[in-house]
Structure 1
């Protein structure tokens, strides 16, 4: 049977091209997304700052909790400080010979761009730093600079910290110099003031002897802190690495889920079409004595042959694509500098297993009926396509359709987060229903459009409608990937445009300031005080953006959800959050304001208490003082400014919203200050939104390209297999022009069906999403983009059918029908 499978594969090479390419691109995408996932799980950052310390003790940069039976983890957005008195406990661990505390905080160095880290000179030995020139700092006005910063001994430099811009004298230059985190060293006392966390430190470098030092330290301290050793020490010196890892894990995992779903639908359709083109051959095999088991085995092994041929070249190409994607994320700062992609065997093995299993199941499923019915019935169905849907397929399709419609209705009854989260379920249910009910949809399209088509083109239109009705299963194999492409593309792009438009609109409409001030790494309180003192300034609002974790209970289980948050001073003259209940003037002390979506997630109203975890893991219980509408533009949670400042890494404002004054006087408040007017601030919001959309468009765009390529392959394969049909039409009197006209109308019917069905799938999905995040069921759909997607869908249907049709019509019909 294996020999027969090889022989029939050679004879059916053209019809198997679509299956080959569908599998090829599916495996490429699975490997590339798997590489992102594995890089997140196993990624390491080369140790730089803590190179001399064999063990590093730092804060736990994530919160863990149990959901169901799984352990969940969410990263914390701000560095977690640990108690300074742990040094005594660490020093008592057997084998420990020294414990060096570290305080690290971002500072701005005048004339230097990029990240600069302030530290205490007492922790210089952790790298170790050595003085190249000069001496160590002795007073609060002296510093030692990293050799990479290019400063000279005796030079005066301006350093911006949480208490403002100060002038320091460089007393020394130290090396070796760090490329990712150049440092400025202060005296221990001054570093403590700038760190501003009394009784706490960033980390401890632990020195000692003996094997298992890290294990002994970890056993002594428990799980309240994180203990790093070896190549994991790089994670301790770059707290943002934990967010980068979680981002890669979440992105890779979600993309693999989408790719697998799309691949199963596309590959199943491709193999189903290839097998249906062999119905007559299978019927003849049954007629000459082949058993159903033998037929299924032959087709299954043939599918494995095709899969193996597709997988071998796809694996290395998937690795190349995954590395490129990782590089794009790294170049745009979405993962920390120093991260490197990890290529292991797991994604390769998983993609191989998925490809082989999908091909085998798809082929076996497609041949199931032809192999199981009587040979005479098989011959009859091979000559004339069976019109009715299989009972099981029809029932399953109707069940999915009913579930999709029910989910759409429930999403409009629900509100907030529940409605938004239902969107992904709706699109999956309706796409699956459309794939299962494809033949019925094709016949319905022919029935509804048949009259108009026949009147428009009496010959080509009549043939197209008749052929569509009798060959609905074949055309459904063509329509299903087109529907999938249209629905997936529209849902992805318009979900993004809906969220992006709402975010930008809320940010612009909520901006009541005349000017917005920004600087790196932030704006100290003295800048805000100076701005308030300027002539003509009537209001200054300080803001810090951060992320909090909402501590909620769902289905009886405690869970945590990340939410964007903002700390702002009140009264907020420059920002209008769109308060619907309560008052932002009460945002002081233990108050908190929630967006409508966040309030729905908490199930809280004004006057009730909610539990939060700040970016550094500090737990708070706060009373809701206001509920507002513009959560997408400014953050789902609003907290008193000082609370966020005290628990942020920089301790400085991210933005100042200034009402009144002049741009020139505001720009002179501090060096390196950026002053944006209202139009400039709106453009900056758009730029940030476009950057955040980039990653989604990149990876989803590749999936869309995969679907489009699969659509073309399916159309070319389906049309190329109709040589005998075209030859018979010509022998009974049809001209080449009439045959091409029939094919054009078929392409229009199938393409139009894809646009209509895809729209009907996309509409409830987007309505649920829009209703959940904006309170309005009307999504933001750019009409030109919608028209372009529809035009591409119809264009693919036309181009991929007419090109092989012209080729099929070139030979002599009598010769072609005998072949």
Structure 2
């Protein structure tokens, strides 16, 4: 270990690339895992002052993997509240009906539409969050409200599922939400799903007694278990953020291994004489392997020691951008996570040792006679394993692309990405073979000039060096073209396909609201439906289905997918009531799984909203309504998803380009520094520093151009295959969309880094010779 420390200390420049790669990799992992560990479910602030909470019973998980609950009816909730209030230690049992309400200012709804779905509450439930009146009195009659901000006596415009209304503010609260009289809340909400218990004494003892009293009629939560009540919308935001952080950790670790492996491989090639000398004085292959592992371990420890605090400092700085991007909930704060930092440090060591494995094995086979070699000509770049793996990668990737049209829709995207990875890795492995013809082709116009000849011949002679530079560029440009092209093409084709399914030229759509109110829909010319849901029990299994409330129905109409259900359905509505209805028809064009009469849906779901109106005439003005073309309407959801995807792309491309720049810079710095004798001979032949810089810059640009051409070509073939599959699936031609600006920027960054990295050793050598 002492020898390894001395080698690293005296030749740190040779290990600089590994050090930076590990430091940055550990920093990325430490910051990402700290953010992830800090973003755990929390008890909603509105319920934080209540130690024991009783939730309505679960009936399983919905399609998104979240628990699905049934509501208590108002009568069931009242009976259960009475039983709970009688328990020892319970000071109050408070039901919490919730409903949709948004404030309207200047004729426009305000606030987050998703949050507004449960912003309305009964005044008695304000105690669940410990909220109090700072002025005024509690609401007691319909049309009265208490909320934060407006002074008592003022009047505010609001929007509910029924339509616009004007409420009188009776009190000002010290917490968020709209609080109305309990009877008003019961009329506006669809049943009750939560009862809070305020207690005196031991909360856990009260919780145990509540479990006995509730039985199977609900779930009692206390302590940390209350975190399970975090809203699905918040949980989804955390999930999206977690996906980005996981991708950052995976990419950071993978690319760090790649950079360490390429750096160690190049370093080992440059140290063949040194290693040969060690073999000549008696070093065994095992000792050579242990020496390289020890050197890398020293560098990894140093890099981890820098990366851990770097990540810990970066995590709090990244929290606000994540919240602004909708990838973490409002109020998210980073907390100290020692386990995440320790794990990141350990992962850095594992990554470094994994990266040096191949180089150490190859170095152990260096013969002692290499200590006597003086030729600078590189050993053959293509080994037998490299040939085999490269050819297999190309063949497997091509086979997947050919088979793409025969696969299911769900499997096609994964198969296409797998094919692209195989082709890109195969091209990177075969790069030394492909470089020669590409170099001759690209340098043909400058073949007669002195600089062009030197660039061409130097590149052909140093195929291993050029391949080491081109490989990271190939992978980065290839994935950049593939990912940006895939996202843009799918977005374009999805919009055209979905717009064709909308049977109207114009659509009355929500504007700043989660859906259209009854007042907004009334009198609009066209077709619409109320969007709700119902729980259907068949053979002991309960499943949630989407429900559309439409005019002109007398029974239950099923979509074609549910044609096998019984002819009489047991339904449980959002307000908790149950009924059995006959199935009267099955339709192929049903907008939801189940169609019911509109007035029936409204009766059992007071908060139901209308998604849109398919217009067949001029639309009338209404609060929260705007008129869009069919294409613009379907583009709303596509753009919402696209914003998240673009954030993912930007972060992943930034990480990829950053590591690519590091790999290119490290390779060229090491390789150019090792060519001092070659450049000295060029100067003795009459070339100046500017001439040498032109040669090194030309070689660097040629390597980047080679990697860009190979990566772009592979990605283009994959995109063409993907477009063919999409066209066959939707039955119409689509345009292949490639954001050239982003991809050209990626290539230009790589080129700039390469030119600078190739020029720095030349300028340093010139300064040192003065």
TM over 0.5: yes
| Matched ranges for 1:237-256 at <5 A | 238-256=231-249
Could you tell me how far apart the structure 1 residues matched to 2:683 and 2:82 are?
Answer: 94
- Name the residue aligned to 1:696: 648
| Matched ranges for 1:132-211 at <5 A | 135-139=137-141, 141-146=142-147, 148-153=148-153, 155-170=154-169, 172-173=170-171, 175=173, 177-178=174-175, 181-188=176-183, 190-197=184-191, 200-205=192-197, 207=199, 209-210=201-202
Kept in 2: contact 1:25–1:706 (CA 8 A): no
Task: Give the secondary-structure state (helix, strand or coil) at the position aligned to 1:74.
Answer: coil
Rate the CA distance shift 1:211–1:789 in 2: closer, same or farther, 3 A.
closer
Q: CA RMSD in A?
A: 4.6
CA drift of 1:759 comes to 1.8
CA drift of 1:676 comes to 5.5
Could you tell me how far apart the structure 1 residues matched to 2:602 and 2:735 are?
Answer: 38
- 1:216 is aligned to 2:216: no
CA drift of 1:374 comes to 2.3
Kept in 1: contact 2:146–2:180 (CA 8 A): yes
Could you tell me how far apart the structure 2 residues matched to 1:368 and 1:798 are?
Answer: 32
CA drift of 1:754 comes to 0.9
Task: Give the secondary-structure state (helix, strand or coil) at the position aligned to 2:53.
Answer: strand
CA drift of 1:19 comes to 1.6
CA drift of 1:738 comes to 5.8
Kept in 1: contact 2:99–2:190 (CA 8 A): no
Rate the CA distance shift 1:430–1:506 in 2: closer, same or farther, 3 A.
same
CA drift of 1:304 comes to 1.8
- Name the residue aligned to 2:538: none
Kept in 1: contact 2:189–2:605 (CA 8 A): no
**TM-score in terms of structure 2 length:** 0.81
- Name the residue aligned to 1:499: 490
Kept in 1: contact 2:530–2:550 (CA 8 A): no
- Name the residue aligned to 1:12: 11
Could you tell me how far apart the structure 1 residues matched to 2:98 and 2:251 are?
Answer: 40
Rate the CA distance shift 1:804–1:168 in 2: closer, same or farther, 3 A.
same
Rate the CA distance shift 1:303–1:590 in 2: closer, same or farther, 3 A.
farther
Rate the CA distance shift 1:517–1:369 in 2: closer, same or farther, 3 A.
closer
Task: Give the secondary-structure state (helix, strand or coil) at the position aligned to 2:159.
Answer: strand
- 1:322 is aligned to 2:315: yes
- 1:661 is aligned to 2:618: yes
- Name the residue aligned to 2:110: 113
- 1:484 is aligned to 2:437: no
Within the candidate set 86, 89, 100, 2:94 is matched to 100
- Name the residue aligned to 2:463: 472
Task: Give the secondary-structure state (helix, strand or coil) at the position aligned to 1:99.
Answer: strand
Kept in 1: contact 2:95–2:195 (CA 8 A): yes
Rate the CA distance shift 1:515–1:191 in 2: closer, same or farther, 3 A.
closer
Task: Give the secondary-structure state (helix, strand or coil) at the position aligned to 1:173.
Answer: strand
- Name the residue aligned to 2:324: 331
- Name the residue aligned to 1:445: 435
Kept in 2: contact 1:61–1:79 (CA 8 A): yes
Could you tell me how far apart the structure 2 residues matched to 1:481 and 1:647 are?
Answer: 60
Task: Give the secondary-structure state (helix, strand or coil) at the position aligned to 1:49.
Answer: helix
What are the Cα deviations for residues 762-798 of structure 1, in whole angstroms up to 9, with x where unaligned?
A: 2354356556666368642134444444444444444
Could you tell me how far apart the structure 2 residues matched to 1:100 and 1:789 are?
Answer: 58
Kept in 2: contact 1:518–1:675 (CA 8 A): no
Rate the CA distance shift 1:443–1:134 in 2: closer, same or farther, 3 A.
closer
Could you tell me how far apart the structure 1 residues matched to 2:421 and 2:209 are?
Answer: 49
What are the Cα deviations for residues 598-655 of structure 1, in whole angstroms up to 9, with x where unaligned?
A: xxxxxx7x967899x9999999999985489xxxxxx9x7775969989989522344
Could you tell me how far apart the structure 2 residues matched to 1:712 and 1:587 are?
Answer: 73
CA drift of 1:53 comes to 1.9
CA drift of 1:513 comes to 0.5
What are the Cα deviations for residues 723-750 of structure 1, in whole angstroms up to 9, with x where unaligned?
A: 2332244456766566445434433432
Kept in 1: contact 2:55–2:195 (CA 8 A): yes
CA drift of 1:138 comes to 4.2
Could you tell me how far apart the structure 2 residues matched to 1:566 and 1:742 are?
Answer: 67
Within the candidate set 700, 723, 731, 1:747 is matched to 700
CA drift of 1:303 comes to 1.3
Kept in 1: contact 2:49–2:127 (CA 8 A): yes
What are the Cα deviations for residues 711-734 of structure 1, in whole angstroms up to 9, with x where unaligned?
A: 333333332332233224445676
Rate the CA distance shift 1:371–1:657 in 2: closer, same or farther, 3 A.
same
Within the candidate set 293, 296, 303, 2:296 is matched to 303
Could you tell me how far apart the structure 2 residues matched to 1:385 and 1:649 are?
Answer: 78
Could you tell me how far apart the structure 1 residues matched to 2:741 and 2:342 are?
Answer: 42
Rate the CA distance shift 1:415–1:6 in 2: closer, same or farther, 3 A.
same
Paired residues, what number?
Answer: 735
Could you tell me how far apart the structure 2 residues matched to 1:19 and 1:787 are?
Answer: 28
CA drift of 1:523 comes to 2.2
- 1:423 is aligned to 2:416: yes
- Name the residue aligned to 2:127: 125
Task: Give the secondary-structure state (helix, strand or coil) at the position aligned to 1:257.
Answer: helix
CA drift of 1:544 comes to 5.8
Kept in 2: contact 1:57–1:225 (CA 8 A): yes
Could you tell me how far apart the structure 2 residues matched to 1:61 and 1:768 are?
Answer: 45
Could you tell me how far apart the structure 2 residues matched to 1:445 and 1:524 are?
Answer: 65
What are the Cα deviations for residues 116-165 of structure 1, in whole angstroms up to 9, with x where unaligned?
A: 622123434323444555554444x243312x131424x55444322233
CA drift of 1:64 comes to 5.7
Rate the CA distance shift 1:33–1:98 in 2: closer, same or farther, 3 A.
same
| Matched ranges for 1:555-574 at <5 A | none
| Matched ranges for 1:610-625 at <5 A | 625=587
| Matched ranges for 1:639-788 at <5 A | 640=595, 650-661=607-618, 666-667=620-621, 669-670=622-623, 673-674=625-626, 688=640, 691-710=643-662, 711-731=664-684, 739-767=692-720, 770=723, 775=729, 779-788=736-745
- Name the residue aligned to 1:375: 368
Could you tell me how far apart the structure 2 residues matched to 1:616 and 1:373 are?
Answer: 74
- Unaligned 5+ residue runs, structure 2? 536-540
Task: Give the secondary-structure state (helix, strand or coil) at the position aligned to 1:530.
Answer: coil
Task: Give the secondary-structure state (helix, strand or coil) at the position aligned to 1:149.
Answer: coil
Could you tell me how far apart the structure 2 residues matched to 1:344 and 1:223 are?
Answer: 38
| Matched ranges for 1:334-413 at <5 A | 334-377=327-370, 380=373, 383-413=376-406
- Name the residue aligned to 1:531: 524
Kept in 2: contact 1:91–1:98 (CA 8 A): yes
What are the Cα deviations for residues 673-699 of structure 1, in whole angstroms up to 9, with x where unaligned?
A: 555678986896786465334431442
Rate the CA distance shift 1:466–1:62 in 2: closer, same or farther, 3 A.
farther
Stretch moving more, 261-270 or 104-113: 104-113
- Unaligned 5+ residue runs, structure 1? 66-71, 533-538, 550-557, 572-584, 594-603, 629-634
Rate the CA distance shift 1:187–1:795 in 2: closer, same or farther, 3 A.
same
Could you tell me how far apart the structure 2 residues matched to 1:301 and 1:756 are?
Answer: 38
What are the Cα deviations for residues 335-374 of structure 1, in whole angstroms up to 9, with x where unaligned?
A: 3323333441233222212211222232242132222332
Task: Give the secondary-structure state (helix, strand or coil) at the position aligned to 2:121.
Answer: strand
Could you tell me how far apart the structure 2 residues matched to 1:333 and 1:24 are?
Answer: 29
**TM-score in terms of structure 1 length:** 0.77
- Name the residue aligned to 1:262: 255
